[in-house]
Amino acid sequence: MSESQFIVSARKYRPATFDTVVGQATITGTLKNAIRHQHLAQAYLFCGPRGVGKTTCARILAKTLNCLNRTENIEPCDQCESCSAFRESRSYNIFELDAASNNSVEDIRSLIDKVRIPPQLGKYSIYIIDEVHMLSSSAFNAFLKTLEEPPAHAIFILATTEKHKIIPTILSRCQIFDFSRIRTEDIVGYLRQISDKEGIAYESDGLHIIAQKAEGGMRDALSIFDQIVSYCGNQISYQSVIENLNVLDYEYYFKLTDAFLDHNIGAALVIFNEIRDKGFDGHNFIAGLGSHFRDLLVCKDPITLSLLDVGDNIRERYREQAARCGTGFLFDALNYYSTCDVGYKTSKDQCLHVQITLFRLCEIGIEKKKSDDPETSITPVKPVVKTIPKTPPHNEIPSVSIKEALSSQPPPVQKNVTLPQNEQTTENMPTKPVTQEALTEAWLSFAEMNRTEKQNYSLLTNSTPQLAQDTKVNFTVNNIFQQEAFQKIHSVLTDYLRGKLNNHQVEILLILAEKRDAPKAYTAEEKFAQMSKKNPLLLTFKQKLMLDFE
């Protein structure tokens, strides 16, 4: 960029014609057709987020309406006297009012007085009122009549970022155009054009970061672009952009995910510590990690890969890493992210809260890997008659998930019947005596390990299991729905209790509670009779006052 008479890019490259407006093709096409067919409204309302082209389109519309030599494509010629006067800010036919600083009744009355004066050059007197929602209630009321029945030569163009603050009587008198946020790809394309014109070399990934940071606003994107150029000169790199904008590098999330897949807790903790040392907030880090998992899930399907809002190089990195990640891993990771995100603000030790989440992410799939590895798997006890399920020794209790048991379909259970157990011999099996205290502790331990599955957690903690005999456990459920839910987890729970209590004769007897008769509804006489038995003076009181029941 030239060092002398520097002009910010947002002004220097502000669109001057409808065709150069970025990302609002529907609106500019409608306005051009309205001019072509002379279907002009008395008032327009342009609303939408900041920096998306509302005021720019208002100025182009005003300039085009008064152009003396419009092109066939309905664009201003930029050569006639009217266009020149507008370009040089000396036009007496186009008036701009900032309602943020001119929002009183007197300001609107002054504007209304000007409306009566016909244009000196061109066909229309056009009034652009920016931030119109800032007008006071009395100013809006003073403006109503003129807005509804303006002179034939007057056209009003109102612009606002807060449409909901405009009173309905104003909205009903305007043609409303809702401007949308500009797509990231459109912003990147425009930044490429400007870079080429200014002779600035760039990396596409760096421009993508600028566009993402702008959040759909072209003006914000151009302001950030100028900031980056001031920082790194005529060479915009991805690294210089993330350093200047204090954006967490994608590379950190790729490395962390590799650590999760390799079950490398140490590497994950070191990377998180490095991120903290750079001054990044833990909550923002977790939010970015959740977005990373979401993007990996999107990349699992080639059809949705194009939905990824990143540069080409980073998109390829996502595609490669997504191929390593199983869908189950990503769903579990998103669940852990969600739990961490919800509990972050209420956590007393937020750093530890994040670190625990990293531990859990590193452990995803580790149990399955152990069970698949013959060297680390537990050798089952040799049966005498029939093969029995593999059970751990008393000092090695696995982490049991109710979710894994839901796919099993055990035989139906009748009321007050012992749930079916695997046929097995008890010869050479541990038979440590079971106590009520140890049973309750083991039961609650199983429930706590599956706290995230709220329905089953509630079922397990709804009542206390009772030790009926040495190894017989009674557990009561209230209805058939709880009975069916318990059927799905009974085998996993039984195996867990046997290992935890070191007794392989433990069996669970499921009891369906009997329905209680509904309480009898007493009449007034019956209620009084019961009360009189307890207090005979009530009967005396009734007789003396000659009271009766209605």
Do 295 and 171 share a domain, yes or no? no
- Flag whether 397 is in a domain: no
Please give the Cα distance from 146 to 135 (Å, whole number).
Answer: 15
For the purposes of burial, counting CB atoms within 10 Å of the CB of 405, is it exposed (0-12), middle (13-18) or buried (19 or more)? middle
Query: Percentage of residues in the chain with pLDDT exceeding 70?
Result: 85
Give the three-class secondary structure for 334: helix
**Closest among 46, 69, 41 to 57, alpha carbons compared:** 46
Pick from 322, 347, 368: which residue ends a domain?
A: 368
Q: What pLDDT does residue 143 have? A: 85
CB 19 within 8 A of CB 75: yes
461 and 547 part of one domain: no
pLDDT at 367: 58
Examine the domain organization and report whether 152 and 203 are in the same domain.
no
Q: Are residues 225 and 146 in the same domain?
A: no
Would you place residue 521 in the very low, low, confident or very high pLDDT band (cuts 50, 70, 90)?
low
Question: Per-residue pLDDT for 164 more than 70?
Answer: yes
Please report whether residue 391 resides in a domain.
no
> Which helix (H) or strand (E) covers residue 418, if one does?
strand 417-418
The answer to whether 128 and 157 have CB atoms below 8 angstroms apart is: yes
Q: Nearest-CA neighbor of 257 among 284, 301, 296, 227?
A: 296
342 and 301 assigned to the same domain: yes
What b/e string do you get for 109-121 counting C-beta neighbours within 10 Å, with b at 16 or more? eebbeebeeebee
Instruction: Tell me the sheet residues that pair with 511.
Output: 476
Task: Return the exposure string of 441-470: e unless at least 16 CB atoms fall within 10 Å of the residue's CB, then b.
Answer: ebbeebbebbeebeebbebbeeeebebeee
pLDDT tens for 303-340 read: 777 778 777 788 888 888 888 888 888 999 999 999 89
pLDDT at position 519 is: 56
Residues 274 and 225 in one domain: no
Query: Residue 320 domain-assigned?
Result: yes
Determine the pLDDT at residue 12: 86
Give the pLDDT score at 61.
Answer: 92
Same domain (yes/no): 333, 432:
no
* Measured CA angle at 502 (ends 409, 465), to 5 deg: 60
Q: What is the mean pLDDT of residues 428-435?
A: 74
- Residues 47 and 139 occupy one common structural domain: yes
Is residue 82 in some structural domain?
Answer: yes
Give residue 428's pLDDT. Answer: 55
> Is residue 293 a contact partner of residue 331, using CB atoms and an 8 Å limit?
no
> How is residue 306 annotated by DSSP?
G
Question: Rg of the chain over CA atoms, in angstroms?
Answer: 37
Range of 494's domain? 402-512
Element housing 466 (H / E): strand 466-467
Residues 428 and 506 in one domain: yes
387 found inside a domain? no
b/e burial code for range 494-512 (CB count within 10 A of at least 16 → b) = bbbbbbbbbbbbbbbbbbb
Structure confidence at residue 45 (pLDDT): 93
Average pLDDT over residues 193-207: 88
> Looking at residues 409-426, what average pLDDT do you find?
44
Q: What domain count does the chain have?
A: 5
Tokens of 171: 């909205």
Query: Residue 231: what pLDDT?
Result: 84
| Mean pLDDT value of segment 99-115 | 84
Mean pLDDT of 253-277: 90
pLDDT in tens, 44-96: 999 998 889 899 999 999 899 988 888 888 888 888 888 888 888 888 888 88
Pair 494, 362 in one domain: no
Q: Are strands 125-130 and 154-160 parallel, antiparallel or unpaired?
A: parallel
Percentage of the chain lying above the pLDDT 90 cut: 11
**173 belongs to a structural domain:** yes
How high is the pLDDT of residue 212? 85
**pLDDT at residue 471 above 90?**
no
Beta bridge partners of 157: 44, 128
The domain that holds 102 is classified in CATH as: 3.40.50.300
The torsion angles phi and psi of 312, rounded to 5 degrees, stand at -65, -40
Q: What is the CATH number of the domain that holds 188?
A: 1.10.8.60
Higher pLDDT, 447 or 420: 447
**Whether residue 290 sits in one domain with residue 147:** no
Q: What is the pLDDT of residue 47?
A: 92
Structure token digits, residue 286: 């977790």
* Residue 287 belongs to domain with CATH number: 1.20.272.10
The mean pLDDT value for 229-255 works out to 85
Q: Quote the pLDDT of residue 373.
A: 56
The two tokens of residue 293 are 């998992």
User: 244 pLDDT band (50/70/90 cuts)?
Assistant: confident
Cβ-based neighbours of 391, under 8 Å, separated by 6 or more: 378, 380, 381, 495, 498, 499, 504
Residue 441 covered by a domain: yes
Q: Residue 383 pLDDT > 70, yes or no? A: no
Number of alpha carbons in the 13 Å side-chain half-sphere of residue 339: 17
Is the separation of the CB atoms in 43 and 55 below 8 Å? no
Average pLDDT of every residue of the chain: 80
Residues 254 and 238 in one domain: no
Is residue 386 a part of any domain in this protein? no
pLDDT tens-digit profile of 1-20?
445 577 888 888 888 889 88
pLDDT of residue 118: 83
Alpha carbon distance 153, 62 (integer Å):
12
Per residue in 225-238, pLDDT (tens digit) is: 988 888 888 888 88
Range in 103-107, 294-298, 420-424 with the lowest mean pLDDT: 420-424
Question: Tokens standing for 304?
Answer: 């949705």
Q: Coil, strand or helix: which one is 49?
A: coil
Look up the pTM and report it: 0.59
One-letter amino acid of 533? K
| Residues near 317 by beta carbon (within 8 Å), at least 6 away in sequence | 250, 254
Tell me what pLDDT residue 375 has: 52
